Amino acid sequence: MIAFSKTFFILTLLLGVLTGTFALPEASAARDQSGFDYRYISGRKYYRAYDIARYYRMKLRKIGKYYEMQGNRGRLVFNPNKRYGSYNYIVLNYDFIPIVQNGELYISSADFFNHVQVLLNPLSLRPAGVRTILIDPGHGGKDQGAAGLRYLEKNLTLQVARRLQNHLRKMGYRVYMTRVNDRKLELSDRAKAANNIKADMFISIHMNAAANRSVRGVETFALTPCGSPSSGANKVQYTRYPGDTAVNNSLSLAWNVQNAIIRTVRAADRGVKRARFVVLRETRCPSILVECGFISNRAEENQLGSPAYQEKLAQSIAIGIYQYHRNLRKKN
């Protein structure tokens, strides 16, 4: 019986191969763990945008100068030879430029894993629970941060952080603050605090400033992935950081918070960005840094100082956190 089964099995296998039922791996197909064909462009690995779109059952089309990938999972925009794009109308900064070759759009494999997959598929995120949140009001004490005409950054960050704490507590989270009064704190100590209390999330609150006083708007930072350049920079870096383990969750959190802020307070969208700030790279949990607006812009400074606007900002950050959390729970 055994001998017969074996022979039968081998025959079936042979028949399968001959009739093409069992596909043997093609030597010519350059495919990696993503399952997509790849090619190297300027020394970097790229996938065909069409293959990615088909995988997610999305439609890829060219509209004027940009490309849109749209389906049930949302809408991604790519601009050939530009780092900026968007997801569901919120500005994103890709790691590397998308490239058009022979009329076809190619997306770097880094961006597939660091942006496309993270945003389109919640299953790619770590299903960590969210119970304890550490809020970090930027600057403090001698370190006053940026100075506007009427307000100091260190005071505004604390005011927004306190309001955020109230909202998150009402939502049932256990919330801590790196500082509750006007005192100086080292960046590394802020990150250490998150690791010491085993926080599930770290939210750093800052106000922005620029020499050009017309610049305004909100931007949210997540850690730059290993092997990619930060936003606005080109240098690729391979140093490993504790924050690497949560880097995808951090990007998802950053998108959700930026999205909630832009939709609620209607500030200018400066996008989800990447940086290797100490508080992002040294924290082991999902971490973001929110630049709530420009203290160097007269109109925005006045808004940032108003209790009503601070309340709206804090509420929208809390909503973004909740939406990120809900998205994680969809997994189960």
User: What is the token pair recorded at 230?
Assistant: 């930060």
C-alpha to C-alpha distance for 193 and 136, rounded to whole angstroms: 10
Residue 114 or 178 having the CB closest to Zn ion:
178
Query: DSSP letter at 243?
Result: G
Instruction: Say whether 291 is catalytic.
Output: yes
Residue with the shortest CB distance to Zn ion: 206
- Given 291, 300, 301, 311, the catalytic residue: 291
Query: CB of 183: closest distance to Zn ion in angstroms?
Result: 16
Q: Classify strands 218-223 and 269-275 as parallel, antiparallel or unpaired.
A: parallel
Query: CB of 49: closest distance to Zn ion in angstroms?
Result: 37
Residue type, 118: V
Query: CB of 139: closest distance to Zn ion in angstroms?
Result: 6
Residue 85 or 305 having the CB closest to Zn ion:
305
Q: Spell out the SS3 assignment of 52-82.
A: HHHHCCCEEEEECCEEEEEECCEEEEECCCC
Q: Classify strands 84-87 and 74-78 as parallel, antiparallel or unpaired.
A: antiparallel
Query: CB of 275: closest distance to Zn ion in angstroms?
Result: 12
Judged by the rule CB under 5 A, the positions of this chain that interact with Zn ion are 138, 145, 206
Residue 45 or 154 having the CB closest to Zn ion:
154
Residue 138 or 320 having the CB closest to Zn ion:
138
From 273, 294, 328, 307, select the one nearest 145 (Cα to Cα).
Answer: 294
Residue 264: exposure state from Cβ atoms within 10 A (0-12, 13-18, ≥19): middle
Question: Phi, psi at residue 239, to the nearest 5°?
Answer: -65, 140
Query: CB of 153: closest distance to Zn ion in angstroms?
Result: 5
Cβ–Cβ < 8 Å for 139, 145: yes
Q: What is the dihedral of CA 321, 281, 139, 221, to 10 degrees?
A: -50
Cβ–Cβ < 8 Å for 100, 79: no
Residue 145 or 305 having the CB closest to Zn ion:
145
Q: Which residues are catalytic?
A: 291
